[in-house]
Amino acid sequence: MALMTSPSPLSWSGFAAAEPVFADTVRRRFQLYKHHVLATLRKDGSPRVTGLEADFRFGELLLGMMPNSRKALDLRRDPRFALHANPGPDAEMGDGDVRVGGRAVEITDPALIARFIEEASPPEPFHLFRTELTEVVRTGLDGEALVVQSWRPGRPLRTVRRTGDDTPPTEVG
């Protein structure tokens, strides 16, 4: 029996090349608000949830944070993360609920950091991580149906519709 392996994570630009319309929808949803919720793993493996600003720049989804913050130390030790878009006022989520997950890789290239400082003017000093995506999910409503769109590297976009009755979920297109 062959062992199944997961495809390698992709950068934001790799995801956008694979699913441009979905990537644009997800990016626009994140850009509605400045602050989002980041989940990292503590030393003991339990989750840590903190606020974070996400930045789309240079074809990447970037995560910036204060030096030696717990979330930065978490990511340096274990790069796995999940980032949930701010649901908005009163958690209305009119544009859907969006989250991404994967690995965060710290950027140490002085030229790229200088370019980021020039364009984004972040408070200094800071840690800067680029994301490598393993999952992107959008959940929204279409009438009475819950619609879940999910993407993973090496797979096509999957859309599932769920209704509130006893009808089983249906995969769309």
pLDDT of res. 173? 61
Please report, for the chain, the start and end positions of each structural domain, with discontinuous segments joined by +. 12-139
Rounded distance between C-alpha atoms, residue 93 and residue 99, angstroms? 12
Q: What is the pLDDT of residue 3?
A: 52
Which tokens in the block code for residue 26?
């997800």
Q: Write down the pLDDT at residue 142.
A: 84
Q: Cα–Cα distance between 30 and 28 in angstroms, integer?
A: 5
Question: From first to last of its 173 residues, what are the pLDDT tens digits of the chain?
Answer: 555 556 788 999 999 999 999 999 999 999 999 899 999 999 999 999 999 999 999 999 999 999 999 999 999 999 999 999 998 877 666 678 999 999 999 999 999 999 999 999 999 999 999 999 999 999 998 888 899 999 999 999 999 998 877 666 677 76
Class of domain 12-139: mainly beta
- The whole-angstrom separation of Cα 57 and Cα 116 is 8
Helix-then-strand count for the chain, H and E: 4, 9
Q: How many Å apart are CA 61 and CA 97, to the nearest integer?
A: 18
At 89 the pLDDT is 76
State the pTM of this model: 0.89
Contact 76, 40 (CB under 8 A): no
